Amino acid sequence: MQSPFNTERLSRELTNLMERTRDRQLRLAVTGLSQAGKTAFLTSLVNQLRHAGLEAQLDLLPAAREGRLLGAQRLTQPDLGVPRFPYDAALSALNAKPPRWPEPTRGISELRLQLRYRPAQRGWLTPEFSHLTLDLFDYPGEWLLDLPMLAHDFDSWCQAQTQHNGVHRQALFSAWQTGVEQLDPAAEADEAQLADLAAAYADGLKQAKQAGFSDLQPGRFLLPGELDGAPVLQFFPLPDIELSTEQRQALPENSVYATLAKRFRYYQQHIVKPFYRDHFRRFDRQIVLVDVLGALNAGPERFEDLSRALQQLMHSFDYGQRSLLTRLFSPRIDRLAIAATKADHVTPDQHGNLVRLLEGLLAEPLKDLRFADIPVKALSLAAIRATQAREVNQQGQRLAALYGTTLEGEEVLIYPGDVPARLPDEHFWQQQGFDFPHFRPMGSSHEALAHIRMDAAIDWLLGDKLA
Amino acid sequence: MQSPFNTERLSRELTNLMERTRDRQLRLAVTGLSQAGKTAFLTSLVNQLRHAGLEAQLDLLPAAREGRLLGAQRLTQPDLGVPRFPYDAALSALNAKPPRWPEPTRGISELRLQLRYRPAQRGWLTPEFSHLTLDLFDYPGEWLLDLPMLAHDFDSWCQAQTQHNGVHRQALFSAWQTGVEQLDPAAEADEAQLADLAAAYADGLKQAKQAGFSDLQPGRFLLPGELDGAPVLQFFPLPDIELSTEQRQALPENSVYATLAKRFRYYQQHIVKPFYRDHFRRFDRQIVLVDVLGALNAGPERFEDLSRALQQLMHSFDYGQRSLLTRLFSPRIDRLAIAATKADHVTPDQHGNLVRLLEGLLAEPLKDLRFADIPVKALSLAAIRATQAREVNQQGQRLAALYGTTLEGEEVLIYPGDVPARLPDEHFWQQQGFDFPHFRPMGSSHEALAHIRMDAAIDWLLGDKLA
């Protein structure tokens, strides 16, 4: 007869115990450009975890399906100087009459959750309950595109900012363009003139955002907060400088060129770096949210613009040994999800295409991730479902349709159209336009929020920690 | 015959030359509670110095009277991350139709001026022109009263916050008071409950400010900016804790008492100290602005409250070897002005009393300053004059009167009343009320702003540097 106290088993049990009893933390980065759905995702994530033991629909998350996940409690966050993620305000908006989407994020906020669960396999040393601390934070998507700026110096940034612009985008910057063409980089800087031109540039960025463009730098120009009026936000790219590197570097400190370059460097050092150092320095898991449907709606120039912005962004993170972020702050990430959000805005039969289109958009970064051997899952989801999938009978055919309420308050039953399975080419844009509708949230009053595949996302991002 | 090259004269000339040619800077602290008139003072100061060679009326400033002060130019400020003082916006408001007072300050701003002048006495080595760099900054007066908080620990602050409150003030905090009385300092802290009570406390502070009170801590509760919703702004004093120091210190880390005390310390270290370190660390001259007339208008409880706030504040600065600010940041100040602002809101014959009343309000701090041998000048001024002094004939008597436009737009010719020459006692408040009117600015369109004794203030604060 074998003794129950054999050393191998004891050793395994002890390791298990240590794992269970030490303070286990998971820091999750929710990455997404403005409008990608970060706030909705975080609100739903907190909501699903809090209702996990009760009415939340989380069948794709084993710990919840097996009844082992008992719920989540908000803890005091570590940094007292950062606002708390406004979960209650977001829920109030969703449950208002009529229901509203939560306000877009205008600053940084944090949330710390403690998840309580029963371990799947219990030995005689395993405690009955375990805890996992989950650190989340939210921030304006506008600021995210500042990260790729760290890879530039002022000259290369000027080039990058002016080489890819299509006609629609250029038109939005015409006031700035006219002014900057008359500016002599070698002349003595006039504070007031630079301030005016920077305001015109910021105005162009704001209009471009309004018009559906994504590749917008510098991000703080869109949401300046307490930096409004500071010289660090008063620079802009200089297009077509006809000066050699030596000539540029020989320009006096008070020249237009040197003043703008100095402010660019100050922006990198004092605005961008601290943001990433404080918030992206250490995270274990990441989900990248992309509003693919919004970009399809906006047409080819803006779709191309989103694609470029995402590639820049993912390239900055890019997870290999030599990535920008690794060199700067050495984050360790062991798992990544990419998600096309707002999947409830198309019929379920289109979700497959949505994921394939997302994979097409992120093809280059996905290669890097595969090379770095970081597991990635691509999915489509709706963090907070705003529609119901229906079927309609048309001339004897059963067709998929969506039932929901538009932002204007009209109840509709529609077929919103097909999502292409690959990146649309020029021919495609000419033949077919996209016009996916926008829906308002359904309003749920005190129950868990309805969703699509939030459980799959949660399982991928933290399911293994609840085993 | 004596050689012109005698060594004594040469040495004097060389010292003079060094003094003139090195980069001379003066950092001026404009100190004042909310509503004291800091923004108007700074706007007028910049305006007078810029118009010094031209139409500005600066007869009490010798360098201007003698035609040696040639004007001032705005330079690039040293810290690119701080907004520029919105001088142009302030002038636009003053010159709008109808004219408006500039917006109150909601954040920190800076301005660097370079003054150009001809030295009074020229030797053969003195350059024809000299420069003086003047660094100015503006900030919300609400934040100034945070400085005295640095002298406290949480317990002594709780006592200080609850011992002086009169009936009017107490009534404004009744919602908070009801809640805090049911709070057990030893109980486990409930995040949401503390957030609600802190919001009620902040609400009391806002109402108290609205009602004319001055002694309002913590200042960031009134203007939270980007800290809105952060735990560091979610504390408040605990009145009447019936626990000994030992009992308090033995309370667990997650108790109400320990949580609030921790946030208080975080507020001191991460909010208050950086503000003073970055902005009050080094200044050479200081002017303290006081809205004496506003306090007289507001009645005895609020007048007493202002007096207490000013004493606390000046005591923190208090200029001796062992002052709080000296110990923390070692500033060196060699000259101070105290000024009763808005002197144009009473007739000129009352200006003497206004100064005496100001000296009465600041009697205790003035003793400290005399003891520390720091020269102080007390004066009354109007940075931006809103009225004209007139004389009216009443039954054969010539009486002083003011002509101006009220904030509501009514043109009036009035005698606004007498200013008491000493601190009013109870008897006095019962016999006589005060009701000084508020005037809108006159609007000046492109000329130097009209003022009362700005030249005297400028002469005291920097006249010796323009000799």
Residue type, B37: G
Contact by Cβ (8 Å): A200, B46? no
CB pairs under 8 A between A and B: 69
Q: Which residues of A371-383 are buried (b: 16+ CB within 10 A; e: fewer)?
A: ebebebbbbbbbb
Task: With a cut of 60, say whether residue A372 has pLDDT above it.
Answer: yes
Distance (Å, whole) CA B127 – CA B185: 69
pLDDT of residue B117: 92
Asked if B74's CB is within 8 angstroms of A231's CB, the reply is: no
Taking all residues of chain A, what is their mean pLDDT, rounded to a whole number? 86
- Chain A residues with beta carbon closer than 8 angstroms to that of B227: 81, 83
% of chain A with per-residue pLDDT over 70: 90
Q: How far apart are CA B218 and CA B146, in angstroms?
A: 6
Q: Which residues of B touch A77 (CB under 8 A)?
A: 231
Of A224-238, A260-274, B368-382, give the lowest mean pLDDT range.
B368-382
What is the model's pLDDT at position B162? 82
CB count within 10 Å of CB A132 equals 19
- Of A231-235, B57-61, B433-437, give the lowest mean pLDDT range: B433-437
At B341, the pLDDT band (50, 70, 90 cuts) reads very high
Cβ-Cβ contacts under 8 Å for A454 (sequence gap 6 or more): A44, A45, A48, A58, A381, A382, A383
Tell me: the pLDDT tens digits for A57-115? 898 999 999 999 998 988 888 788 889 999 988 998 999 889 999 988 888 888 999 99
In the prediction, which pLDDT does A4 show? 45
Q: Which of A369-373, A459-463, B59-63 has the lowest mean pLDDT?
A: A369-373
DSSP code string of A321-337: TT-HHHHHH-----EEE
Q: Which residues of A touch B231 (CB under 8 A)?
A: 76-77, 80, 84
**pLDDT higher at B416 or A5:** B416
pLDDT band at A426 (very low <50, low <70, confident <90, very high): confident
Give the minimum alpha-carbon distance from B107 to chain A in angstroms, rounded to a whole number.
7
Q: How confident is the model at residue A15 (pLDDT cuts 50, 70, 90)?
A: low
Nearest Cβ partner of A83 from B80, B83, B230?
B230
Contact residues, chain A, for B271 at CB < 8 Å: 81
pLDDT at B210 over 80: yes
- Cβ distance A270 to B232 less than 8 Å, yes or no, reads no
By CA distance, what is B267's nearest residue in A?
A81
A141 CA: distance to closest CA in chain B (Å): 17
Query: Quick one: pLDDT band at residue B325, thresholds 50, 70, 90?
Result: low
Looking at the predicted structure, is the pLDDT value of residue A262 above 90? yes
Dump pLDDT digits (tens) for A195-204. Answer: 999 999 999 9
B109 CA: distance to closest CA in chain A (Å): 8
- Whether pLDDT at B319 is above 70: no
- pLDDT, residue B2, reads 44
Q: What is the mean pLDDT of the segment spanning B317-333?
A: 58
| More confidently predicted of B123 and B175 | B175
Pair B385, B378: CB distance under 8 Å: no
Question: Residue A381 pLDDT more than 80?
Answer: yes
Residue with more model confidence, A175 or B18 = A175
* Nearest-Cα residue of chain B relative to residue A194: B76
User: A155 vs B321, which has greater pLDDT?
Assistant: A155
When pLDDT is cut at 50, 70 and 90, the band that residue A349 belongs to is very high
Interface contact flag, B107 A191, Cβ < 8 Å: no
Mean pLDDT to the nearest integer, A144-149: 88
Whether the per-residue pLDDT at B204 is higher than 70: the answer is yes
Preferred mutation among B110, B226, B227 to probe A, highest tally of A CBs within 10 A: B226
Q: In this structure, what token pair is assigned to residue B63?
A: 């360098």
Backbone angles phi, psi at B213, to 5 degrees: -80, 155
Lowest mean pLDDT among B112-116, B361-365, B369-373: B369-373
Kindly tell me the burial class for residue B336, based on how many C-beta atoms sit within 10 Å of its own C-beta (0-12, 13-18, 19 or more): buried
* Residue A20's pLDDT band (cuts 50, 70, 90): very low
pLDDT for res A1: 41
* Confidence (pLDDT) at A324: 60
Q: Which residue on chain B is closest to A110 by alpha carbon?
A: B230
Cβ neighbors of A367 (< 8 A, separation 6 or more) are none
Query: Which of A226, A228, A253 should we substitute to test contact with B (largest number of B Cβ atoms within 10 Å)?
Result: A226
ipTM associated with this complex: 0.71
> B228 to chain A: nearest residue by CA?
A83
Residues of chain A above pLDDT 90, percent: 42
Straight-line distance from the first to the last Cα atom of chain B, in angstroms, rounded to the nearest whole number: 31
The tokens describing A177, both together, are: 């363009």
pLDDT score, position B153: 93
Test B231 with A74 for CB contact under 8 angstroms: no
Chain B neighbors of A263, CB-CB under 8 A = 80
pLDDT (0 to 100) of residue B219: 92
The closest CB to that of A230, out of B82, B262, B271, belongs to B82
| Residue B17 pLDDT level (bands cut at 50, 70, 90) | low
**In the predicted structure, residue A235 carries a pLDDT above the cut 70:** yes
Residue A235 contacts residue A189 (beta carbons within 8 Å): no
Mean pLDDT, residues B112-129: 83
Q: Which positions in chain B have a beta carbon within 8 angstroms of at least one beta carbon in chain A?
A: 74, 76-77, 80-84, 86, 107, 109, 189, 191, 225-232, 254, 259, 262-263, 266, 270-271
Residue in A76, A38, A68 with CA at minimum distance from that of residue A52: A68
Q: Over range B316-333, report the average pLDDT.
A: 59
- Among B117, B127, B71, residue whose Cα is nearest residue B466: B117
What average pLDDT does the segment A159-165 reach?
83
Q: What's the pLDDT band for A38 if we cut at 50, 70, 90?
A: very high
C-alpha–C-alpha distance, residues A289 and A301, integer Å: 20
Q: Which residue has the higher pLDDT, A397 or A385?
A: A385
Joined tokens for residue A356: 């394939």
* 8 Å CB contact of A83 and B109: no
Look at residue B310 and tell me whether its pLDDT is greater than 50: yes
Contact A81 B229 (CB under 8 A): no
pLDDT at B423 over 70: yes
Query: Is residue A3 pLDDT above 50, yes or no?
Result: no
**pLDDT confidence of A320, banded at 50, 70, 90?**
low
Which residue from B minimizes the CA distance to A229? B83
Taking only the tens place, the pLDDT of each residue in B241-256 is 778 888 888 999 999 9
Winning range, highest mean pLDDT, from A23-32, A181-190, B161-170:
A181-190
Contact flag B229-A84 (C-beta cutoff 8 Å): yes
Q: How confident is the model at residue B399 (pLDDT cuts 50, 70, 90)?
A: confident
The position carrying tokens 């003030």 is: B169
Side-by-side strand order, sheet with A285-290: A69-75, A109-117, A130-138, A25-32, A285-290, A335-340, A376-380
Q: Is the model more confident about B189 or about A128?
A: B189
Which residues have CB under 8 Å from A174's CB, separation 6+? none
Comparing B457 with B163, the larger pLDDT belongs to B457
- Nearest-Cα distance to chain B for A86, in Å, is 8
Mutate to test the interface with B, among A75, A76, A235, A253 (most CBs of B within 10 A): A76
Q: How far is A13 from chain B (nearest CA, A)?
A: 32
**Out of B80, B226, B266, closest to residue A230 by CB:** B80
> Which of B20-34, B194-208, B300-314 bottoms out in mean pLDDT, i.e. has the lowest?
B20-34
Measured between CB atoms, which of B80, B254, B263 is closest to A232? B80
Q: What is the pTM of this model?
A: 0.79
**pLDDT for the residue numbered B331:** 53
Chain A residues touching residue B259 (CB < 8 angstroms): 76
Q: Measured between alpha carbons, how far is residue A172 from residues A72, A198, A213, A399 in Å?
A: 47, 14, 11, 41
* Residue of A277, A265, A25, A7 lying closest to A130 (CA atoms): A25
Whether B230 and A81 lie within 8 Å, measured CB to CB: yes
Nearest CA in chain B to A108: B226
Distance, in Å, from the CA atom of A189 to the CA atom of A208, rounded to the nearest integer, reads: 27
Q: How confident is the model at residue A156 (pLDDT cuts 50, 70, 90)?
A: very high
Q: Which of B39, B76, B278 to mutate to test the interface with A (most CBs of A within 10 A)?
A: B76
* Max Cα–Cα distance, chain A, nearest Å: 93
Least confident of A13-17, B86-90, B132-136: A13-17
What pLDDT is stored for residue B276 in this prediction? 82
Give me the residue spans of the domains in chain A: 149-276
CB atoms within 10 A of CB A282: 14
Chain A nearest-CA residue for B191: A76
Sheet holding A411-414, edge to edge: A387-394, A397-405, A411-414
**pLDDT on residue A9:** 64
Binary contact (B228, A83; C-beta < 8 A):
yes
pLDDT > 90 fraction of chain B, expressed in percent and rounded? 42
User: Residue B204: enclosing H or E segment and its boundaries?
Assistant: helix B191-210
Which of A4-8, A102-106, A225-229, B462-466 has the highest average model confidence (pLDDT)? B462-466
Q: Which residues of A touch B112 (CB under 8 A)?
A: none
The contacts of residue A129 (CB under 8 Å, 6+ apart) are A70, A116, A117, A118
Mean pLDDT within B322-338: 67
